[in-house]
Amino acid sequence: MKSIDLFLALGVFILSFCSQTIPEGQDIRGTVLLGPNCPVVQADEPCPDTPYQTELVATTADGTSVVKRFSSNANGEFEVNLAVGSYAIRSPNPGGLPYCSTNEPFTVTAGARTEVQVFCDTGIR
Protein backbone atom coordinates (compact mmCIF):
# COMPACT_ATOMS: atom_id res chain seq x y z
CA MET A 1 0.00 0.00 0.00
CA LYS A 2 2.89 2.36 0.73
CA SER A 3 4.28 1.97 -2.81
CA ILE A 4 0.93 3.14 -4.21
CA ASP A 5 1.02 6.25 -1.99
CA LEU A 6 4.56 6.99 -3.12
CA PHE A 7 3.54 6.49 -6.76
CA LEU A 8 0.56 8.86 -6.38
CA ALA A 9 2.66 11.48 -4.61
CA LEU A 10 5.26 11.31 -7.37
CA GLY A 11 2.53 11.66 -10.01
CA VAL A 12 1.08 14.75 -8.30
CA PHE A 13 4.56 16.28 -8.06
CA ILE A 14 5.26 15.69 -11.76
CA LEU A 15 1.88 17.09 -12.84
CA SER A 16 2.30 20.22 -10.72
CA PHE A 17 5.76 20.80 -12.19
CA CYS A 18 4.58 20.32 -15.79
CA SER A 19 1.56 22.60 -15.45
CA GLN A 20 3.34 25.68 -14.16
CA THR A 21 1.38 28.86 -14.60
CA ILE A 22 2.91 31.93 -16.17
CA PRO A 23 3.34 34.68 -13.55
CA GLU A 24 1.14 37.77 -13.78
CA GLY A 25 2.92 40.52 -15.69
CA GLN A 26 5.19 38.11 -17.57
CA ASP A 27 3.96 38.87 -21.04
CA ILE A 28 4.47 40.60 -24.31
CA ARG A 29 2.58 43.72 -25.24
CA GLY A 30 2.75 45.52 -28.52
CA THR A 31 1.22 47.00 -31.62
CA VAL A 32 0.77 45.84 -35.18
CA LEU A 33 1.33 48.36 -37.98
CA LEU A 34 0.32 47.96 -41.63
CA GLY A 35 2.22 49.64 -44.44
CA PRO A 36 3.13 51.00 -46.85
CA ASN A 37 -0.38 52.26 -47.54
CA CYS A 38 0.34 54.52 -50.53
CA PRO A 39 1.74 53.45 -53.91
CA VAL A 40 4.30 56.26 -53.95
CA VAL A 41 5.46 57.84 -50.68
CA GLN A 42 6.56 61.45 -51.10
CA ALA A 43 8.21 63.78 -48.58
CA ASP A 44 5.45 66.41 -48.77
CA GLU A 45 2.63 63.82 -48.62
CA PRO A 46 3.07 61.63 -45.54
CA CYS A 47 1.65 58.14 -45.64
CA PRO A 48 2.16 56.64 -42.18
CA ASP A 49 1.74 52.99 -41.30
CA THR A 50 -1.64 52.33 -39.67
CA PRO A 51 -2.75 50.10 -36.76
CA TYR A 52 -3.89 46.71 -38.00
CA GLN A 53 -6.26 44.08 -36.57
CA THR A 54 -5.14 40.59 -37.53
CA GLU A 55 -4.47 37.05 -36.37
CA LEU A 56 -0.86 36.27 -35.41
CA VAL A 57 1.22 33.42 -33.99
CA ALA A 58 4.07 33.46 -31.51
CA THR A 59 6.68 30.94 -32.62
CA THR A 60 9.99 29.66 -31.36
CA ALA A 61 12.80 32.09 -32.22
CA ASP A 62 13.75 30.06 -35.30
CA GLY A 63 10.11 30.03 -36.47
CA THR A 64 9.83 26.23 -36.62
CA SER A 65 7.10 25.72 -33.98
CA VAL A 66 3.94 27.67 -33.18
CA VAL A 67 3.69 28.37 -29.44
CA LYS A 68 0.49 30.45 -29.25
CA ARG A 69 -2.17 31.95 -31.54
CA PHE A 70 -3.60 35.38 -30.77
CA SER A 71 -5.06 38.48 -32.42
CA SER A 72 -4.49 42.20 -32.30
CA ASN A 73 -7.51 44.43 -31.66
CA ALA A 74 -8.94 47.21 -33.88
CA ASN A 75 -6.22 49.57 -32.59
CA GLY A 76 -3.50 47.07 -33.54
CA GLU A 77 -2.77 46.32 -29.87
CA PHE A 78 -2.17 42.92 -28.29
CA GLU A 79 -1.10 41.40 -24.99
CA VAL A 80 -0.07 37.74 -24.63
CA ASN A 81 1.30 35.71 -21.71
CA LEU A 82 4.31 33.57 -22.65
CA ALA A 83 6.75 31.43 -20.72
CA VAL A 84 10.38 32.52 -20.37
CA GLY A 85 12.17 32.01 -23.69
CA SER A 86 12.98 33.42 -27.11
CA TYR A 87 10.22 33.97 -29.66
CA ALA A 88 9.23 35.58 -32.94
CA ILE A 89 5.80 36.72 -34.15
CA ARG A 90 4.48 36.21 -37.66
CA SER A 91 1.36 35.73 -39.74
CA PRO A 92 -0.15 32.27 -39.26
CA ASN A 93 -0.08 31.54 -43.01
CA PRO A 94 3.23 32.64 -44.54
CA GLY A 95 3.25 33.52 -48.21
CA GLY A 96 0.24 35.80 -48.42
CA LEU A 97 -0.07 39.55 -48.10
CA PRO A 98 -0.12 41.37 -45.90
CA TYR A 99 2.66 39.40 -44.25
CA CYS A 100 3.33 40.29 -40.61
CA SER A 101 6.44 39.66 -38.50
CA THR A 102 8.78 41.03 -35.89
CA ASN A 103 12.06 42.25 -37.37
CA GLU A 104 14.03 39.90 -35.13
CA PRO A 105 13.44 37.40 -32.30
CA PHE A 106 12.82 38.74 -28.78
CA THR A 107 13.23 37.29 -25.30
CA VAL A 108 10.64 37.01 -22.51
CA THR A 109 12.27 37.19 -19.08
CA ALA A 110 10.85 36.00 -15.76
CA GLY A 111 8.22 38.33 -14.30
CA ALA A 112 8.78 41.07 -16.90
CA ARG A 113 6.76 42.68 -19.69
CA THR A 114 8.39 42.79 -23.12
CA GLU A 115 7.36 45.47 -25.64
CA VAL A 116 7.15 44.22 -29.23
CA GLN A 117 6.44 45.92 -32.57
CA VAL A 118 5.00 43.85 -35.42
CA PHE A 119 5.12 45.15 -38.98
CA CYS A 120 2.75 43.96 -41.72
CA ASP A 121 3.90 44.45 -45.30
CA THR A 122 1.10 45.29 -47.73
CA GLY A 123 3.28 44.64 -50.77
CA ILE A 124 2.52 48.12 -52.17
CA ARG A 125 5.61 49.58 -53.82
Rounded to two decimals, the pTM is 0.78
Q: State residue 95's pLDDT score.
A: 85
Question: What is the number of structural domains in the chain?
Answer: 1
Task: Flag whether 40 is in a domain.
Answer: yes
CATH for 115: 2.60.40.10
Task: Flag whether 9 is in a domain.
Answer: no
Q: Which residues lie closer than 8 Å to 60 by C-beta, 6 or more apart?
A: 67, 85, 86, 87, 88
Q: State residue 18's pLDDT score.
A: 44
Predicted confidence (pLDDT) at residue 4 exceeds the cutoff of 90: no
Task: Flag whether 2 is in a domain.
Answer: no
45-65 pLDDT tens trace = 888 999 999 999 999 999 999
Distance between CA atoms of residues 85 and 61, nearest Å: 9
Instruction: Give the domain range for residue 116.
Output: 23-121
Task: Flag whether 96 is in a domain.
Answer: yes
The mean pLDDT value for 11-26 works out to: 52
Residues 49-83, buried b or exposed e (16+ Cβ, 10 A)? beebebebbbbeeeeeeeeeebebeeebebebebe
Q: State residue 3's pLDDT score.
A: 53
Q: Which residues lie closer than 8 Å to 92 by C-beta, 6 or more apart?
A: 55, 56, 57, 66, 69
Predicted confidence (pLDDT) at residue 5 exceeds the cutoff of 90: no
Distance between CA atoms of residues 5 and 17, nearest Å: 18
Task: Flag whether 6 is in a domain.
Answer: no
Q: State residue 24's pLDDT score.
A: 62
Task: Flag whether 116 is in a domain.
Answer: yes
Helix residue ranges per DSSP H, the chain: 2-18
Task: Flag whether 92 is in a domain.
Answer: yes
95-122 pLDDT tens trace = 889 999 999 999 999 999 999 999 999 9
Task: Flag whether 12 is in a domain.
Answer: no
